[in-house]
């Protein structure tokens, strides 16, 4: 099975090798799970805009509670996160692949 473009940039060479050695059924399951659960910057931007709830989508509930308790991080934290959304989404997707493999 060919790796989708959406996954290639998140895989290390060892993970790509591990993926290629899996059965077709396992590969299909991993790809479909990744495509369902991955995050894009636009998805995080929507969650960021809606009450600064982007850490919930990143599965960081404790950090989300701290974020809200500090008044959206004193607003500065909230604005800084706007510029970090790409990096946060990439880290989430890399961790997702690590969990799936």
Q: Per the structure block, which two tokens stand in for 91?
A: 């880290």
State the pLDDT confidence band at 91, using cuts at 50, 70 and 90.
very high
Averaged over 66-91, what is the pLDDT? 87
Mean pLDDT of 17-31: 91
Please determine, for residue 72, whether its predicted confidence score (pLDDT) is greater than 70. Answer: no
User: pTM of the predicted model, to two decimals?
Assistant: 0.85
Cα 64 to chain centroid, rounded: 15
Query: Mean pLDDT over residues 53-59, rounded?
Result: 90
Task: Tell me, rounded to whole angstroms, the distance of Cα 83 from its chain centroid.
Answer: 15
Sole residue written with tokens 């636009």: 42
C-alpha 54/C-alpha 82 separation (Å) is: 10
Please report where in the chains the tokens 């299909």 appear, as a residue.
Answer: 28
Mean pLDDT, to the nearest integer, of 25-42? 93
């Amino acid at each position: 099975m060919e790796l989708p473009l959406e996954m290639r940039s998140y895989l290390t060479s060892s993970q790509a090798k591990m993926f290629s050695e899996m059965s077709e059924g396992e590969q299909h399951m991993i790809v479909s799970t990744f495509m369902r659960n991955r995050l894009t910057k636009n998805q995080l931007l929507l969650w960021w805009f809606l009450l600064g709830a982007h850490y919930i989508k990143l599965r960081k509930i404790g950090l989300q509670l701290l974020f809200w308790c500090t008044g959206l991080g004193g607003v500065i934290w909230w604005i800084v996160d706007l510029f970090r959304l790409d990096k946060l989404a990439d880290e989430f997707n890399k961790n997702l692949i690590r969990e799936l493999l």
